[in-house]
Structure 1
């Protein structure tokens, strides 16, 4: 290879070594320019404004009768345990002395074998006859001694002895008469008599069983009327005129079944008195309601049984010039949202209820500004002055929301 050819080859290799880095550098510059170029993006759309929506109701001033609701259990006004007053074997039991059976005042419910007590009465009567005979003899002796003492035939001491014998005989007669009355009483006590018109709750005795004095025979209760202890809170008492004295007028109360709350049966009672002390735990006052003929023996109605839970409704005072708000429209116990009828903007406000129950919250009509509707649909936020869209009511008889919606549609079209 010649010297000139060797030089040409060396120059070519040098150029190649220089060209490769230049190409890489140029490619990097071009790539950087391409990557750093701004990517064209479509223009952002403006977010769509979402209107708050709610149903509304009109509010009217009215007179609202307060109805107090409370729960209680029916109780017998007279419930007693029948006990034996004499001992002996149970000889007879009346069919009326079975659990659930009715009986009348004076019925013989249980009879204890009277044989021993009949014998005791016969003995007492015989002893009385003997005492009377002794008294008759003592009187004759005493009279004879008195006649003889006048002729000095007997001494004064004999007269005094005869007088003492007569007094002793009279005392023996009195004692024998008491024994006879006691024997008669024990004989009468072998028959357990119903003390009132009632019904048997429990029976604890059977025929042939030995009953001792004070042995419980069963429990009975009166059926002429029942009583219900109704707890009345301090807040509720402010709206009721409860009878405090016997001459006060009773307060009508309606009772419904506390178990079958869908039942349409209503028992009417009267609150006749209140207890003299407040409950030490709840500070409630118990009002005593009375229901006559609870078992429907006279009126042929559904029975109101002892031990049955009931829901009581008591009509109290009437609140004048108030607004009854639906319970569902009141948030956090004391907050409502009003809607201006002219421009459909929101006005949240706090209320101070004068009365509330499960369905209504009652406020004075004076606290509600004029020209307002009540928003009844729950909303996450309710800024004051925010525009609202009225939701049409499903009730065709209510045209407030419909007319407002039609006006909004007309404005949107124009």
Structure 2
């Protein structure tokens, strides 16, 4: 009996183990099949636009008057009159009286000169009469030719010289009398005044300074390598000036009047001079452009028929990465005509509608397969259809 137990018990344990193994094996789930992973690089693209473009050259400068004049006294005397407009910042018209020097002494000098001139004329007429009498008497006395002295010609010439001298004295007195009035040489703004009512001035005394308001100038520094982008090196080029006026960005039109024709020995820059008519808007309604203002300038230059602007970081060795119609990488050789800050201007090698890759690729290879993000995979036509369906459903 004990021997049977020894045989049956191992068999039962072995059978139970087999059954347990089978049961656990049935409970185990088979491994799930994993979906294939698409390792195609996903890139972002941007459509290129090619169009005509007018190149500009950037510069800057300070607005200054084309004409400025320091007024000085040409005679001596006391300031007896000052115009109300003769103050710093005042606007005056050409010929407008600014100040008057006491004219009394100069009026008296003119009267004295006129009196001397009249006396000289009288002496001249007397001498002419004496000359005629001498000529008549000489003919009666002798039939020989008279001398110049006998006809009183030297005396007549002397009196004629006295008349001319007296006339010159009148002109000088008249000019000095005119100089008692300090007038504006042109339409101007007063920059400074250095005299007051009752001040005594002498010849050469500083009266003040005026700035012409008809035309303003801006000297624009331009590097030599930028002149090639301007027509005729900028002669008569149109210029757009920009600056801040009353806290607001403003713009003014100007044109290049001349090229100074020299290179600054310190900055190594050439200078174009732009002119602005009526900067203070005195003759027409416009935003004033004050002297001394700092302005930026865009000088309009040559036109490029087919051009596009591309960021510099997307250009490598003169090539740009594009995504072609087969969603593959394609490198396009481009011609760079100008670098402008962070961008380059391309004149050849691209077409409107080309898809430029703007995202970085670790190992770009010409012809490699690429993919777009799902939201960009739809064509423009599909997007329009989806939009129309959505609007109908709403």
> If the TM-score is normalised by the length of the shorter chain, which range does it land in?
0.7 to 0.9
Q: Within 1, Cα distance between the matches of 2:248 and 2:337?
A: 31
Q: Within 2, Cα distance between the matches of 1:130 and 1:371?
A: 97
In structure 2, the residue matched to 1:255 is: 241
Q: Within 2, Cα distance between the matches of 1:82 and 1:347?
A: 72
Deviates more, 1:83-92 or 1:224-233: 224-233
Q: CA 1:125–1:59 in 2, change beyond 3 Å: closer, same or farther?
A: same
Q: In the alignment, which of 119, 135, 158 is matched to residue 130 of structure 1? A: 119
Q: Offset at 1:302?
A: 0.9
Q: In the alignment, which of 373, 376, 379 is matched to residue 358 of structure 2? A: 376
Pairs within 5 Å for 1:184-333 = 184-242=174-232, 250-257=236-243, 259=244, 263-326=248-311, 329-330=313-314
1:106 aligns with 2:95: yes
Number of paired residues?
Answer: 340
1:400 aligns with 2:390: no
Contact residue 320 and residue 334 of structure 2 kept, 8 A: no
Q: Within 1, Cα distance between the matches of 2:148 and 2:319?
A: 110
The DSSP-based 3-state class of the residue aligned with 1:353 is strand
Q: In the alignment, which of 344, 358, 361 is matched to residue 361 of structure 1? A: 344
Q: CA 1:49–1:279 in 2, change beyond 3 Å: closer, same or farther?
A: farther
In structure 1, the residue matched to 2:3 is: none
Deviates more, 1:214-223 or 1:58-67: 58-67
Q: CA 1:372–1:178 in 2, change beyond 3 Å: closer, same or farther?
A: closer
Q: Within 1, Cα distance between the matches of 2:199 and 2:105?
A: 16
Contact residue 85 and residue 189 of structure 1 kept, 8 A: yes
The DSSP-based 3-state class of the residue aligned with 2:204 is coil
Q: In the alignment, which of 140, 144, 147 is matched to residue 129 of structure 2? A: 140
The DSSP-based 3-state class of the residue aligned with 1:179 is helix
Q: For residues 220-273 of structure 1, what are the alpha-carbon distances to aligned partners after superposition, in whole Å with 9 as ceiling and x for unaligned? A: 11111212222222232112114787xxxx32221110x569834221112233
In structure 1, stretches of 5+ residues that fail to align are 1-47, 393-398, 404-414
In structure 1, the residue matched to 2:25 is: none
The DSSP-based 3-state class of the residue aligned with 2:336 is coil
Deviates more, 1:90-99 or 1:318-327: 318-327
Q: CA 1:350–1:163 in 2, change beyond 3 Å: closer, same or farther?
A: same
Q: Offset at 1:191?
A: 0.7
Deviates more, 1:296-305 or 1:181-190: 296-305
Q: CA 1:370–1:223 in 2, change beyond 3 Å: closer, same or farther?
A: closer
Q: CA 1:260–1:330 in 2, change beyond 3 Å: closer, same or farther?
A: farther
Q: CA 1:371–1:206 in 2, change beyond 3 Å: closer, same or farther?
A: closer
In structure 1, the residue matched to 2:167 is: 177
Q: CA 1:54–1:201 in 2, change beyond 3 Å: closer, same or farther?
A: farther
Q: Offset at 1:197?
A: 1.0
Pairs within 5 Å for 1:60-79 = 60-79=49-68
Over aligned residues, Cα RMSD in angstroms? 3.6
Contact residue 146 and residue 159 of structure 1 kept, 8 A: no
TM-score normalised over the length of structure 1: 0.71
In structure 2, stretches of 5+ residues that fail to align are 1-36, 380-394
Q: Within 1, Cα distance between the matches of 2:351 and 2:113?
A: 93
In structure 2, the residue matched to 1:411 is: none
Q: For residues 160-183 of structure 1, what are the alpha-carbon distances to aligned partners after superposition, in whole Å with 9 as ceiling and x for unaligned? A: 373322221111111111111111
Q: Within 1, Cα distance between the matches of 2:164 and 2:232?
A: 56
1:85 aligns with 2:68: no
Contact residue 96 and residue 102 of structure 1 kept, 8 A: yes
Q: CA 1:362–1:179 in 2, change beyond 3 Å: closer, same or farther?
A: same
Q: Offset at 1:282?
A: 4.0
Q: Offset at 1:217?
A: 1.1
